[in-house]
Structure 1
Amino acid sequence: MTDSSETRRTRICTAGPNLCLVAQLLEDPMLGIFAAVALVVISISFAYLWVMFFAGMRTIRRQGATMSTLSDTKYEDPYIDEPGTFHTYFLIPCLDEEKVIGATTKALAGSPHSTTIVIDDASDDRTREVAYENGGDNVIVLSRTLPNARLGKGEALNDAVRLVRELVAERGQDTEEVLVVVMDADGRLSDGAMSQVLPLFDDPTVGGVQLAVRIRNRHSFLTRYQDFHFWSSTSVTQFGRAQTGTVSLGGNGQFSRLSALNEAGEKPWSESLTEDLDLCVTLALRGWKLTTTPNAAVEQQGVETISTLFRQRRRWFQGHMAMAKRIPEIWKTPSLPNIRALELSAYILTPWVTILPWSILFHWAVLGMIFDGGVFFAFVTSSATLLAGLVFWYLLTLGPVFVNAWVYYKRDDKHEFWISMLHSHCFPLINYLAFAAVWSALARLLKGQNGWEKTRRVDEAVPAPGAETAVPA
């Protein structure tokens, strides 16, 4: 009697999980397609992640740092040991930021080589007054009024860089020795940050520097998760991009040479929802190197509700995904080295080739285990094979959590390793927020919806003179 297809497959599966998988692929063409797509997605994700991670470790060593270099730093005085080699102009776009702008302008007021430009984008609160009260003589408030205000962060920054160009000309400063620094209204630079960042611009090919981000109000699970996301392997892979000179610029702690911005055009920043990433590509296409340092960082507030975090990540995804239109331009630029073109393309395509496909493949695999679990687990013949199968599944799906936990533990040594492990194991759960955000971003792209949703701040008191800032546990 001839065995049925199901019987043959079950018998083969009893010999082991690998043979079981082969049997299923032979019997089910759709499963074969699924496996092939999943293999491509996983391979691309792992290859890019681990190449950048080990490159990041190399950057850390080459710059004389360690994982724990900034583990106990404060974010109070960025001008410690500041070299007087560059003139810096801090641009701070503000829309109703009276809760946080005072502490930020106060922290930036301590250098004779810097000017702080607060861009008041038609605020309805006391942003302007609070900025002047706390920033001292080096603060200039650029007031934008409706209907020319509230047109996006890019337009606000373009208005401010026009003012910077006028001031530089009036003061007789060399554009090669002028840096433009974009800060969020709640941003704080780490102690001595300027002494670490400014020497990077001694290399005349460096057009931009982006600092790693810490979350200041990390006192709840949600804000601690955001800090874990920014401060673990994400920051190390960003260090890795320094090896190709294509470090992605962000909206906070973004340093650019004025001469590089001038090459980017009269309006360096675009109307994109991720104008910082757009500027990164523009500068790279013009031959500028973009780098970073593990010896300095920028601190900001994390959002404190799931809905706000969802909207923030959706905006990031939407702007990131829209950047795919610039990939042909990247590969048509003959002066751009292939390694830089490849890395920029890989980074831009991340939502398209990893997150979107994985959101489908992950659930397809889960449903397959539920509805065809008898065959899938047919290799289990004893408690030993069950244990081996569970361990294999755990290492395959959650293996990277150990790396993330170790990195965060080393970079934030105020917490036990098991706490880092706990946050790391929450990544699969939090991934659902990323899945929802990326699909919502895709829907907005298809509908042509490009509206900007402002992130609301948490109220912060301006530190008194000599007062120490407590870091939440």
Structure 2
Amino acid sequence: MQALFWVSLAVIVAVDVWVCVLFVCAVRGRRRQPAAPAEGADAFTWVFLVPALDEELTIRDSVTRLLALPLERRHVVVVDDASGDRTPAILAELGQPDLHVVRRVLPHAREGKAAALNAGFQELGAILGDVDRDSVIVAVVDADGRLDPQAPAHVAAHFAEASVGGVQSLVRIYNRQRLLTWCQDVEFSVYGHLFQAGRNGWGTAGMGGNGQFNRLSALDDLASGAGPWRDRLTEDQDLGLRLIVRGWKGRQDLRATVDQQGPSSARALLRQRTRWSQGNLQAMALIDELAGARLAPAVRLEQVAYLLMPLWQGIIGASFLTALALMALGVAPFWDGGPSWQLLVFWVLAFGGTILGCVAARAAEGPRGWLVGFLVGHVYVLYTWFLWPVLLRSTARQLARRRDWSKTRREPLGPEPAA
């Protein structure tokens, strides 16, 4: 048990140092935003891929917003994955020249999001014609997505650099009126402002599905067989990592936002996060390729260490449960009345990294934002432990080779929240 605690302490300290490095890199990066091309978003042709399976509650809202984006050259490609509700009828009502509906039929449908995206990708040649594929940006927007109208303009600034293959928007939760969905909004903000923005300078920010922008020529570089997306539970993460391996840069833009629904029940949230967690376990198969990628040694180490995060989480979780058991049995108390500075050390180890992430998410608001982030971190850390059982469930499913999943059910649209 002492060996477990020492290993866990080493992991916690290493993670806290890593978070501090990302925090500094993220704060510095916000001061050096890339310059947009002279034509702005109109320097590129934009394609929005929207996979849709039984999305009658949200599809009209999402597609209407995409069709209203202030862009000179834009195509909205909705892949109707054999929907059995009113999704096809709603899309027919929205008929516009810029809207293209790719209809899939059973039995060659409902094979996962990657298959649906690849079906849309296969149609791009006919839709776009003879174009410079370096100047075409393909965005993935989920059927509940609300892309900010200025997102393409912000993203265009990154794609002005020819080596950038992918840019990820900042995800927000628009039904964040409840505590559970509010915590999800904090979660995405921490991930975007810390773990993603902290990697911008290295060009290793990951892709996150909804609000993901990719250069078409970069997708061509990965395409094999059906298309660039592979059959993975987190096909977005897989694609982003393979872009990095092939030498493309990945960026996070914090000004470009995409809002989506968050599961409002604990059961739905745990089911969704189990799928994501199992996808992370699948992504560990890319460790060898990342270790050999043409990146600085420290950046390669950071990427590999991040992919091993389920292992680090498992060690910390095991030590925490062991400590609780020892305390309950009276073998080892939480604190033996020693010097008070020990409690400060415990607090830093338990909350430090999470608080830094919450502060990073609010840093742009100035001193008030830092204070709010500091306070929010103490609540958010409880949410992170609420999700810890997800790791056990996803590991069990991976070992049992279970890959079935059900998509997150949508809820009727409500009013838009305040910023």
TM > 0.5 fold call: yes
Distance 1:355 1:290 in 2: 25
Q: Aligned pair count?
A: 411
Whether the 8 Å contact between 1:103 and 1:134 is mirrored in structure 2 is: no
Paired residue for 2:211? 253
Paired residue for 1:214? 172
CA RMSD of aligned residues (A): 2.6
Aligned-residue offset at 1:187: 1.0
Aligned-residue offset at 1:214: 0.8
Q: Which of 296, 302, 317 in structure 1 is aligned with 2:277? A: 317
Aligned-residue offset at 1:394: 2.7
Distance 1:472 1:219 in 2: 10
Paired residue for 1:471? 417
Distance 2:92 2:34 in 1: 39
Whether the 8 Å contact between 1:63 and 1:294 is mirrored in structure 2 is: no
Residue 454 in structure 1 maps to residue 414 in structure 2: no
Post-superposition CA distance 1:398-432 (Å, at most 9, x none): 2345434434455679x998875664323343233
| SS across alignment from 1:115 | strand
Q: Which of 180, 183, 186 in structure 2 is aligned with 1:225? A: 183
Whether the 8 Å contact between 1:92 and 1:119 is mirrored in structure 2 is: yes
TM-score where L is the length of structure 2: 0.90
Q: Which of 335, 338, 358 in structure 1 is aligned with 2:297? A: 338
Using a 3 Å threshold, how does the CA distance of structure 1 residues 158 and 337 change in structure 2: closer, same or farther? farther
| SS across alignment from 1:98 | coil
Whether the 8 Å contact between 1:232 and 1:411 is mirrored in structure 2 is: no
| SS across alignment from 2:264 | coil
Distance 1:284 1:364 in 2: 38
Distance 1:83 1:401 in 2: 36
Aligned-residue offset at 1:153: 0.5
Paired residue for 1:105? 63
Residue 140 in structure 1 maps to residue 100 in structure 2: yes
Whether the 8 Å contact between 1:261 and 1:268 is mirrored in structure 2 is: yes
Residue 429 in structure 1 maps to residue 387 in structure 2: no
Paired residue for 1:40? 10
* 1:9-158 matches, cutoff 5 A: 30-31=1-2, 33-63=3-33, 82-110=40-68, 111-134=71-94, 136-158=96-118
Residue 270 in structure 1 maps to residue 230 in structure 2: yes
Distance 2:102 2:262 in 1: 26
Distance 2:359 2:195 in 1: 14
Whether the 8 Å contact between 2:363 and 2:369 is mirrored in structure 1 is: no
Paired residue for 1:395? 348
| SS across alignment from 1:214 | strand
Whether the 8 Å contact between 1:102 and 1:133 is mirrored in structure 2 is: no
Post-superposition CA distance 1:93-150 (Å, at most 9, x none): 1111111111111111133311001111111111122234346321111111111101
Distance 1:229 1:82 in 2: 31
| SS across alignment from 2:110 | coil
| SS across alignment from 1:118 | strand
Residue 369 in structure 1 maps to residue 322 in structure 2: no
Whether the 8 Å contact between 2:12 and 2:349 is mirrored in structure 1 is: no
TM-score where L is the length of structure 1: 0.80
Letter paired with 1:57: V
Q: Which of 295, 308, 321 in structure 1 is aligned with 2:255? A: 295
Aligned-residue offset at 1:260: 0.7
Paired residue for 1:10? none
Is 54-63 or 126-135 further displaced after alignment?
126-135
Letter paired with 2:75: T
| SS across alignment from 1:293 | strand
Using a 3 Å threshold, how does the CA distance of structure 1 residues 392 and 40 change in structure 2: closer, same or farther? closer
What is the percent sequence identity of the aligned residues? Answer: 34
Letter paired with 2:305: A
| SS across alignment from 1:366 | helix
Distance 2:237 2:401 in 1: 20
Residue 201 in structure 1 maps to residue 159 in structure 2: yes
Letter paired with 1:255: F
Whether the 8 Å contact between 1:231 and 1:411 is mirrored in structure 2 is: no
Post-superposition CA distance 1:230-249 (Å, at most 9, x none): 11365322101111111110
Letter paired with 1:38: S
Aligned-residue offset at 1:460: 2.0
Letter paired with 1:179: I
Whether the 8 Å contact between 2:193 and 2:357 is mirrored in structure 1 is: no
